């Protein structure tokens, strides 16, 4: 195929993929569902590469610390967008978010505390001291998702 013909074809297949996915748009004022989902995606964009660094042989203490700070800057963003009445498609949150509000808050605080500990550990720039606190943060993501996020 001529190179110049490739691009429109790619664009078309992307459109088809998105349509097939069938996720409804968040059309409500302020787009609370979309906003909190984007905030979680930002969190994972900081968190994932830290794990890659720990598992592989690319560990760099300064880079890890920078990502820990980035995670701190992003960790508070989703929580203000779970107002009552925001349980609607395309949310992946379970109704439990609005039913078990105390548990949700406990899980949130556990996540905040775990990221505090990760930052303290990251300041040592010592890889050996990072695996446990990284794993502990990951555990708080999982603990919350188990009850409050649809699989
Ligand atoms: C206190 C609860 C809680 C904690 C802690 C938590 N999450 Fe979530 N997460 C949720 C809920 C609820 C949703 C669903 C939001 C929605 O769709 O409305 C979600 C959604 C997500 C999504 C999906 C976003 C999308 O729409 O594609 C990702 C990715 C994610 N979380 C990553 C993480 C990571 C990584 C961590 C830990 C570093 C974490 N979360 C910690 C509750 C939590």
Question: Which residue has better confidence, 11 or 126?
Answer: 126
What is the model's pTM?
0.88
Q: Which CATH number fits domain 32-148: 2.60.40.10, 3.40.109.10, 1.20.140.10, 1.20.120.10?
A: 1.20.120.10
pLDDT at residue 95, as a whole number: 98
The pLDDT-based confidence of 52 (bands split at 50, 70, 90) is very high
**Ligand 1 centroid distance, CA of 112 (Å):** 13
The pLDDT-based confidence of 21 (bands split at 50, 70, 90) is low
pLDDT at residue 50, as a whole number: 97
Residue 93: what are its φ and ψ, rounded to 5°? -75, 145
Ligand 1: which of 145, 146, 150, 151 to mutate, judged by most atoms within 8 Å of the beta carbon? 145
Distance between CA atoms of residues 145 and 151, nearest Å: 8
- pLDDT tens digits for range 68-96: 999 999 999 999 999 999 999 999 999 99
Distance between CA atoms of residues 52 and 35, nearest Å: 26
Average pLDDT of the chain to the nearest whole number:
90
By CB atoms closer than 10 A (0-12, 13-18, 19+), residue 118 is buried
Helix, strand, or coil (residue 88): coil
């Amino acid at each position: 195929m001529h190179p110049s013909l490739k691009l429109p074809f790619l664009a078309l297949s992307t459109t088809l993929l998105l349509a097939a996915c069938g996720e409804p748009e968040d059309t409500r004022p302020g787009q609370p569902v979309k906003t909190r989902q984007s905030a979680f995606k930002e969190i994972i964009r900081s968190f994932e590469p830290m794990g890659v660094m720990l598992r592989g042989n690319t560990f760099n203490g300064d880079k890890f610390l920078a990502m820990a700070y980035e995670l701190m800057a992003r960790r508070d963003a989703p929580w203000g967008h779970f107002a009552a009445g925001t349980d609607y498609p395309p949310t992946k949150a379970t109704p439990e978010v609005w039913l078990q509000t105390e548990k949700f808050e406990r899980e949130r605080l556990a996540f905040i505390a775990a990221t505090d500990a990760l930052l303290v550990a990251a300041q040592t720039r010592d890889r050996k001291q990072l695996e446990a606190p990284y794993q502990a943060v990951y555990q708080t993501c999982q603990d919350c998702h188990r009850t409050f996020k649809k699989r």
